Structure 1
Amino acid sequence: MDALPSSSEFGQLRAFVAVAEALSFSRAAEMLGVSSPALSQTIRGLEERVGVRLLNRTTRSVSLTEAGSVLLQRIGPSMHDLSAAVLQVQGYSAKPTGVLRVHTFRVAADLFLTPLLAPFHWAYPDIVLDITLDDEVVDTVAEGFDAAIRIGEVIEQDMIAVRLGGELRQIAVAAPDYLARAGTPSHPRELTSHPCIGWRWQGHKQPYKWEFQEDGTWFEVTVNGPVLSNSRDFAVQAAVEGLGIAFAIEQVVAPYIADGRLVPLLTQWSAPFSGFHLCYPVQRQMAPALRAFITELRMSADQATRRSYQLAAG
């Protein structure tokens, strides 16, 4: 590391490459935005530092000495590589490009991301979306993610949160043939006598307790049934097959309700709660790729919300 040039030494090397390639102090000075006398002084300083003449100068011409030719061959390509690298990085400030790593709950991916993928790629072909579908709440920054999609109650305090769509609510649903066979519960506490399709957070052994609200107070119901999994989608499909009652986000089951495959239950006890948000760490300069993703995702979320309302209205 001691051999690395200081900022002044780097400036001398940059000046040398400009003169050596142009073989003209005046043209090199114009490219560098300095005066010819100042450039000449810089080259003299470099020659004094390395202890050897690098350029032969006359009033009419400039040529490389043998030592100058060797130095140009060694550092010329590196200088051009450095310039190209800087230009590439500067391009990030104007053109959305690069890999964007996103952590998202599976439900949010189904609602907002899946409809977004194709149009986003067509609009921003130089952005690669690296998406992790995972219902576990992780440390977004520590795990190397640029952003995360999660419900409001589990957002980290030091993150910026952009709301996606409206509030959510979970409802109990069952297939018509199941209700015809087993009857319809009239209160959430009656779910304990029905086979319910359980769900648990990834990495948790205990099933999720179904949450309802009565007279402004939340309460939980511990359900049991023939199936327990870590996939909400699996639970919904099991309910469609008539296995029992499932508990799911209303927007997810709206298409099944609309076509008659599922029936909503106990909705008067299903209260709304904070919906999904796109979260990302505070940053002085937002990457164009993240900015583009936020804009497109918000539009996708608005469209998904309108579709779910239309389905719910029949």
Structure 2
Amino acid sequence: MLQKNINDLLVFLSVAKERSFTKAASKLGVSQSALSHTMRNLEGRLGIRLLMRTTRSVAPTEAGELLLRNIAPRVEEMEQELSRVIEFKQQPAGTIRLTADEHAANFILWPRLRSFLKDYPDIKLEIDVDFALKDIVTEQYDAGIRLGELVHKDMIALPISPEIRMAVVASPHYLENRSIPKKPKDLLKHQCVNLRLPTVGNLYAWEFEVNRREIKVNVEGQVICNTLTQMLQAALDGFGFIYVPEDEVSIAIQQGRLVRVLEDCCPYIPGYYLYYPNRRQHSYAFSLFLKMFQNQNKK
């Protein structure tokens, strides 16, 4: 019975995880009608409904949820074991899936990955850039990169960057005929570009340190963004101040396209960590990736 059902179970897992026949079909490279036919056959052999289908959604039934919880981890373990077979090849291969915020991806990850990918041309890398905190286990990422204060305690965490200094900047055009902020509260008199955090949905409060005391300022302005790239462009176009990691704007400051203020009040925040689940075995490709960061930490 197992031999007859194994391929159909893999189809069920894909549909149940994606909650969509269309997305699962695209992921598996088959037609939607073929997936529907496979699921009908599986449910017919088992004599029980595994998926509830409507015109708008697909969701596992109670029996389907039970099967998903019990089968998915075992399939993942088998995939990990198969990936380790790559270790016996002369040239390592495989795919590494990472999630990181925009700043970490651009300034921490990519500068280190350029040489790594050139050394291992058969290793593929997928980086999901997002401010939202992903469940890397459920969404099947190999690892995540986030600020240390955001990493869950049940993860293995490896520091991969020093502390990060923040900066408040605006364009010379915006500052024409406007007063320069002398203290953080002065920003309330100015236009500021806000960042909306996707995890909780609120606007990011700008953090400062004055006389060893933390101050948070809820700024206001005409523009609200959800990426640092948008914020930087808004500042360059004269829409007010932005509050970003200083390495995002250091070149623009040197070129005179942005002006920095309140430098003495801008704090350092905890650096980035590479974090991953406490699994006993990893793919060979991920082991090499992890070793790269471990070796760099020793230098």
Question: What TM-score, normalized to structure 1?
Answer: 0.64
Q: Which moved more, 1:146-155 or 1:109-118?
A: 109-118
Q: From the superposition, tell whether residues 93 and 248 of structure 1 become closer, same or farther in structure 2 (CA, over 3 Å).
A: farther
Determine if the alignment matches structure 1 residue 270 to structure 2 residue 260.
no
How far apart are the structure 1 equivalents of 2:92 and 2:123? 7
Cα deviation code 1:204-256 (max 9, x no counterpart): 44311111112222221011111011112211111112221111011111111
Conservation of the 8 A alpha-carbon contact between 2:83 and 2:283 = no
Determine if the alignment matches structure 1 residue 170 to structure 2 residue 138.
no
Query: Which of the residues 202, 206, 213 maps onto 1:206?
Result: 202
Cα deviation code 1:261-288 (max 9, x no counterpart): 1122111111112111111112323432
Q: Which moved more, 1:290-299 or 1:267-276?
A: 290-299
Aligned residue in 2 for 1:129: 125
Aligned residue in 2 for 1:101: 97
Q: From the superposition, tell whether residues 179 and 218 of structure 1 become closer, same or farther in structure 2 (CA, over 3 Å).
A: same
How far apart are the structure 2 equivalents of 1:212 and 1:100? 37
Conservation of the 8 A alpha-carbon contact between 1:161 and 1:280 = yes
Query: Which of the residues 246, 252, 260 maps onto 1:256?
Result: 252
Which structure 2 residue ranges, 5 or more long, are not aligned? 5-80
Q: From the superposition, tell whether residues 183 and 125 of structure 1 become closer, same or farther in structure 2 (CA, over 3 Å).
A: same
Aligned pairs for 1:25-174 (under 5 A) are 89-92=84-87, 96-174=92-170
Identity, % of aligned positions: 33
Aligned pairs for 1:225-304 (under 5 A) are 225-296=221-292
Amino acid at match of 2:224: L
Aligned residue in 1 for 2:64: none
Amino acid at match of 2:278: V
Aligned residue in 1 for 2:182: 186
Q: Which moved more, 1:149-158 or 1:201-210?
A: 201-210
The SS at the match of 2:124 is strand
Q: Which structure has the larger Rg over C-alpha atoms?
A: 1
Q: From the superposition, tell whether residues 300 and 115 of structure 1 become closer, same or farther in structure 2 (CA, over 3 Å).
A: farther
Aligned length: 222
Q: From the superposition, tell whether residues 192 and 288 of structure 1 become closer, same or farther in structure 2 (CA, over 3 Å).
A: same
Q: From the superposition, tell whether residues 187 and 89 of structure 1 become closer, same or farther in structure 2 (CA, over 3 Å).
A: closer
Amino acid at match of 1:106: E
Conservation of the 8 A alpha-carbon contact between 2:195 and 2:204 = yes
Determine if the alignment matches structure 1 residue 195 to structure 2 residue 191.
yes
Conservation of the 8 A alpha-carbon contact between 2:83 and 2:284 = no
Q: From the superposition, tell whether residues 107 and 2 of structure 1 become closer, same or farther in structure 2 (CA, over 3 Å).
A: closer
Displacement after TM superposition at 1:160 (Å): 1.4
Displacement after TM superposition at 1:290 (Å): 1.5
Q: From the superposition, tell whether residues 92 and 191 of structure 1 become closer, same or farther in structure 2 (CA, over 3 Å).
A: same
Amino acid at match of 1:195: Q
Which structure 1 residue ranges, 5 or more long, are not aligned? 5-85, 303-314
Question: What TM-score, normalized to structure 2?
Answer: 0.67
How far apart are the structure 1 equivalents of 2:97 and 2:189? 44
The SS at the match of 2:152 is coil
